[in-house]
Structure 1
Amino acid sequence: MLILHFSDIHFRKSEISTAQDPNFHLRSEMVHDVVRQSKLLGAPDAIIISGDIAFAGDQDEFEFATEWLRKLCAACGCSMQSVFVVPGNHDVVRELADQDLVQLIHGQIKRAKDPTAEIAKYLSNPAVSRLLYQSLDNFNQFAFQFLCDLLPPERTRATRDLPLNDGSVLRLWGLNTAVISSGHDRAGELFIDRASLQITREAGVVNLVVAHHHLSWLRQGAELADHLNDVAPVQIFGHIHTNRIEMNRDFMRLTASAAHPDRREAGWEPGYNFVELSVVGEPEARKLHLKAHVRVWQTAPGGFQAKMDKGASVFEHFVDLEPWHPPQVTSAPVPPTKAPISGVGAATMLIEEGLAMNTIRDLGLRFYRLSFSKKLEIAGRLELLEDEDMGQPDHERFRRVFIRAHERGKLKDFAQAVAAAEQD
């Protein structure tokens, strides 16, 4: 399993696609380095972005990010289906988060004796939760194409399962640490909701947790650290723009460099990471073998190079795993099973014979790329919209259309309609 990891890309609307983009050369060199490393290590199985894709949460910034990711995937030999994202503070539209009513709610959460319970109360109230999440609408519209969009109270984290080499599962968990982010953020004054503390150990599953804000920025940082250290052998954070790798008996914690840090920052060090994961050993003595390839920018001469761990160009670590035996393969036919789709929450899609998960993700990507009017026309023609959808943000409305297409046995008609719309 090979993961390509970026954080804090900060696509800024005033700079992208202009002759004055200060990061154009840096970004080009980054893609060249990703291609070189992919030739050495193999094509990535997943691309994780741990927040701050945009700079100001602007729709144009996310559209640029989509095109950049499409080119990156083509260059390094992986699919857009492999992308997994979480929100950061720069993915929030601050004009919305800084509104007086939203700030009143933020203040009540910060002053509460039990802020986690206070957040749970607000997220269960549709009107209040809409106020808390409306500043992430543009992020969610972007994340919908990867089935990583969020909607409280049930879908406040994204998940995805990937196969490991011994038949076990690598489960990605994307947390939302920007739930009360605004222009008034301070270290130690941000929060997670209760769902982030419900990650559990499961036989044959290795948990990898992704969050934007470093633990030091969270009021519940110590509580979350204790929980993750028990259940998540791999932990990935961003936000602080400083690359650190902590190798503990039970986990590896990677805090990322920014892909595009502010050039005025002290210790300016753009970077990104490749992380290799494999399970080694017998079923009764399994270990997770981790190899982090940290790539950082050097100047004069310019180029990305390996960050060194003393004399080694890779940070290598082993974490003990619980014993696990792959299930016995039988010749009896296996009925279709329900497999969760990333971020859907309680809703699931039936993975039918001949309709693989990648096919569903590809269909979601293609549907996302259609114009709003074409998506609406398909939803109306196939009778996939309901009155209850009208008050929902666009990303949620079209997610429900996508799910209903399956639930009502119209997924093939839906795919044909998407293909026809692409030809127009």
Structure 2
Amino acid sequence: MRIHAGGVAKGLIVTGDIAYAGKPEEYAVAAKWLDRLASAVRCPRTAVKLVPGNHDIDRDRISAGCTYLINEILTGGETKLDEFLADADDCKALYNRFVGYEPFALETYCPLHPGGGIASDSSEELAPGRYIRFFGLNSALICSKRKDEEGKLILGAAQRVLPMDPGVELVVLCHHPLHCLQDSVDARKYVRNRARVFISGHEHKPDLQIETIEDGCDLMMLASGATVPPKVENGYTYTYNLLTFDWCSKEDKLSVEVVPRAWNDDKKRFEADDVRLGGHKPRNLLASPNFRRGAPPVVAVQAEPAVQLVPDALHPALERREDLPAGYVAAPEPAPSQSAPVAAMNDAAFQLVLLKFFRDLTAAQRLKVLIDLDALPDDWNEELTLMMERNLIEDLVKDGRLDANKSSIERNQH
């Protein structure tokens, strides 16, 4: 959550266990609660970053066959997981347990990857050339009916192999802490060396640790606590964190401010809870190697007219001007946009259409919308999954039919 002056938030982060039993009706309640929260902090109700937890599995949908798959994975490890994910029917059996969570996640553009990959992926610009990228991991993929044994869950290589991009630092969201995983050794190596912040849930006790991985590389490990724990006793209480992500231009570091809040039951209110900072100050500067690997941020220079400067190494063919600082050239004029419909996919209007499509419409109504907009070919004869529906909506937006989408949803909603 990025907090601006006046208490306006950029978004909400939820690290799993949105529901208790993974039932659709529980997500309907959760959606209304998140809408109220988004309104209170004045952020778009679509600006929610989610990952699933073990309570987001509908355990009633764990069949005997699915139980066999899970037991085989628990015994055979990552090799077995990859084998089953490569088979469409086995993969479907594993993901069928998220039948309540999946449409809820699609509403906020945090889809589960259908083949064991990253659960969600989005970026925020902190400054020109400096970004944070939120990666959501599905650590609940092989949770079972019984209480999951610590150290037995698996992320798999498709999730734990995190990218490294110049100018981009990673904020990784995962319900389970790393010690809950079979592949925790490799997962920890990737997180320690490629992420700047790792935020987990599950254990209900907030905590903050900052590790110096090596000279010029830091990692913040943040245990987020629980907004609605099952009990308020023995050290457990209602907690949340206010997070501010920013770029420290002076040191080219990621600035992360953490303000923990905890419920004081005697005073019946939330209060600052600095004890849970673990001795750290609220604002911390994290040494950020991927920022340093990126090109220097674009510098704005006021001239006649204003000139945007970029490092000349990025545009070696451009003419050098004597009136500009050494090592920089004037950024080329942007070409006429040919991708306005594609850009629209990132704006609030499209995200709101996606939310309404999955939240407000039944499966039959969603099908009517797709038929109404000729999104399906006449000879369509396949199973229509939620992910396919989302992709079809995206294709319509890419074709410049965002308004048609909105109108069709409104018509079919009644």
The TM-score with structure 2 as length reference comes to 0.82
Q: Judge conservation of contact 1:88–1:213 (CA < 8 Å) in 2.
A: yes
Tell me whether 1:306 sits opposite 2:269 in the alignment.
Answer: no
Measured at CA, do residues 153 and 407 of structure 1 come closer, stay the same or move farther in structure 2, by a change above 3 Å? same
Deviation at 1:83, TM superposition (A): 0.6
Q: Judge conservation of contact 2:257–2:282 (CA < 8 Å) in 1.
A: yes
In structure 2, the residue matched to 1:360 is 350
Deviation at 1:141, TM superposition (A): 1.0
1:47-80, CA deviations, whole angstroms, 9 ceiling, x for partnerless residues? 1100000000011100011111111111211111
In structure 1, the residue matched to 2:304 is none
Tell me whether 1:169 sits opposite 2:171 in the alignment.
Answer: no
Q: Judge conservation of contact 2:176–2:201 (CA < 8 Å) in 1.
A: yes
Q: 2:342 aligns with which of 339, 344, 350?
A: 350
Structural mapping, 1:4-23, within 5 Å: none
Tell me whether 1:379 sits opposite 2:370 in the alignment.
Answer: yes
Tell me whether 1:105 sits opposite 2:69 in the alignment.
Answer: yes
Q: Secondary structure in 2 aligned to 1:275?
A: strand
Q: Judge conservation of contact 1:293–1:313 (CA < 8 Å) in 2.
A: no
Which residue identity is paired with 1:361?
A: Q
CA distance in 1, matches of 2:44, 2:400: 27
In structure 1, the residue matched to 2:261 is 295
1:138-165, CA deviations, whole angstroms, 9 ceiling, x for partnerless residues? 1001111111121422754210111113
Q: Secondary structure in 1 aligned to 2:99?
A: helix
1:233-269, CA deviations, whole angstroms, 9 ceiling, x for partnerless residues? 1110000111110112211110121111122763222
Q: Which has the larger radius of gyration?
A: 2
1:307-333, CA deviations, whole angstroms, 9 ceiling, x for partnerless residues? 115898953321112323135343232
CA distance in 1, matches of 2:266, 2:98: 39
Q: Judge conservation of contact 1:306–1:314 (CA < 8 Å) in 2.
A: no
Structural mapping, 1:311-330, within 5 Å: 315-322=282-289, 323=292, 324=294, 325-327=296-298, 328=310, 329-330=331-332
Structural mapping, 1:405-416, within 5 Å: 405-416=396-407
In structure 1, the residue matched to 2:318 is none
Deviation at 1:222, TM superposition (A): 2.4
Structural mapping, 1:131-170, within 5 Å: 131-153=93-115, 155-170=117-132
Q: Which shifted more, 142-151 or 323-332?
A: 323-332
Q: Judge conservation of contact 1:124–1:152 (CA < 8 Å) in 2.
A: no
Equivalenced residue count is 370
CA distance in 2, matches of 1:265, 1:381: 54
CA distance in 2, matches of 1:160, 1:389: 33
Q: Judge conservation of contact 1:307–1:313 (CA < 8 Å) in 2.
A: no
1:78-119, CA deviations, whole angstroms, 9 ceiling, x for partnerless residues? 11121111100000001113x22111111111111xx22321
Measured at CA, do residues 333 and 305 of structure 1 come closer, stay the same or move farther in structure 2, by a change above 3 Å? same
Measured at CA, do residues 286 and 334 of structure 1 come closer, stay the same or move farther in structure 2, by a change above 3 Å? farther
Which residue identity is paired with 1:333?
A: A
Query: Which gives a bigger RCO, structure 1 or 2 (Cα 8 Å, sep 6+)?
Result: 1
CA distance in 1, matches of 2:255, 2:297: 18
CA distance in 2, matches of 1:358, 1:178: 29
Q: 1:258 aligns with which of 226, 236, 244?
A: 226
Tell me whether 1:400 sits opposite 2:391 in the alignment.
Answer: yes
Q: Unaligned regions of 5+ residues in structure 1, if any?
A: 4-37, 339-348
Q: Percent identity?
A: 24
Measured at CA, do residues 192 and 236 of structure 1 come closer, stay the same or move farther in structure 2, by a change above 3 Å? same
Tell me whether 1:61 sits opposite 2:63 in the alignment.
Answer: no
Q: Structure 1 runs of 4+ off > 6 angstroms?
A: 310-313
Q: 1:83 aligns with which of 42, 45, 48?
A: 48
The TM-score with structure 1 as length reference comes to 0.80
RMSD of aligned residue pairs (Cα, Å) = 2.5
CA distance in 1, matches of 2:271, 2:280: 9
CA distance in 1, matches of 2:47, 2:244: 15
Q: Judge conservation of contact 1:50–1:88 (CA < 8 Å) in 2.
A: yes
